[in-house]
Amino acid sequence: MSTVYIGGYTPDTGGAGAGVTVAARAESGALTEVGTAAASGPSFLAAHPSLPVLYAVGETDPGTITAFTATDDPERLATRSSGGGSPCHVAVTDRWLAVANYGDGMVALHTLDDEGLFTGPPLLFPGFGSGPDSDRQRGPHAHQATFEAGVLYVTDLGADQVRQWRVHPDVTELEPITLTPGTGPRHLVSAPTGWFVTGELDGQVHAFDAKWHPVAQFAASGRDSANYPSHVQLHRDRLYVANRGPNTISVFDPETFKMVAEVDCGGDWPRHFAIDGDDLYVANQRSGGVVHFRLVGGVPEPTGHVLAVPTPTCVLL
């Protein structure tokens, strides 16, 4: 058995969940709920890379970030301001915790001590800019934070940017990468050849080389319905993308950009997914469940196992 944490929206944040759901994962991949940790709107979770500490954003305005013990029965260790409004993503290294505050575009960089707890005031970096979508891009909306090779990258859906900071040895803000207007970058993932970014607003996957030169873009889904891609992940020799609207998981060859398969996600509005080995878990936000798939030749096949979780938005394996 291993422990899985599931984040989601609570009644005070427009959802129906109880907080952070804790589940046991069997060898078959099936999940069984074993408890919950009370939290307000824990829409995204992250684990410390070397300490038994779990972090959860509180997607409220103003927002919060909370540290829990990473156990079967998480204990709240500390809560502080996320540094902005409506935080929707968190990323962690040994010494830094980065929060993407969607509401106001603020990126907050929190220092962690030897026990993984917050220390000192955070470094705050406001966002600037807008985009052509008058409903979604009136201002900056930081959406995902990712540490890679000593650099913090943050997608900004509202400004059509990937913002970046060098964090080692000192924190230095770098020039942002500008994307095509109207892209609405949501999530990104690094690859041996460079980067992949999902465009929530244009329904595309954007490929870049290692120096962020555009290489290609391709439709995230082959279905006819409107698509708002969410999460993207590279696993082994395949690229996986969750599609909200078509309600599918697409599988691509990351070298040729050709679609290998597109399978139904087993619910409505796949907000996030996580992969470990041959197990893939999809958090279907609107239908309320975490659906288990087994990868066969890199293609997700449903196992029939579904863990009922109200308004799930994140799966942490």
Q: How confident is the model over 89-137, as pLDDT tens digits?
A: 999 999 999 999 999 999 999 999 999 999 999 999 999 999 999 999 9
Contact 68, 87 (CB under 8 A): no
Structure tokens at 11: 């009644």
Report how far residue 238's alpha carbon sits from residue 193's, in angstroms, rounded to the nearest whole number: 13
State how far the Cα of 250 lies from the Cα of 307, in Å rounded to an integer.
Answer: 22
DSSP-derived letter for residue 179 is P
Residue indicated by tokens 């959860």: 56
Per-residue pLDDT of 224-241, as tens digits, reads: 999 999 999 999 999 999
For range 173-194, the mean pLDDT: 98
Report the predicted TM-score, pTM, of the whole model to 2 decimal places: 0.98
Q: Which residue has the tokens 């999460």?
A: 231
Residue 53 CA to residue 74 CA, distance in Å, equals 9
CA 287, 289, 293: angle at the middle one, nearest 5? Answer: 120
Q: 250 CB contacts (<8 Å, ≥6 apart)?
A: 220, 221, 222, 240, 241, 243, 259, 261, 262
For residue 169, is pLDDT > 90? no
Burial 89-117 (b: 16+ CB within 10 A, else e): bbbbbeebbbbbbbbbbbbbbbebeeebb
What digits encode the pLDDT tens for the residues 251-288?
A: 999 999 999 999 999 999 999 999 999 999 999 999 99
How confident is the model over 288-317, as a mean pLDDT?
98
Average pLDDT over all residues of the chain:
98
pLDDT of residue 1: 84
Could you identify the residue written with the tokens 């696993």?
Answer: 235
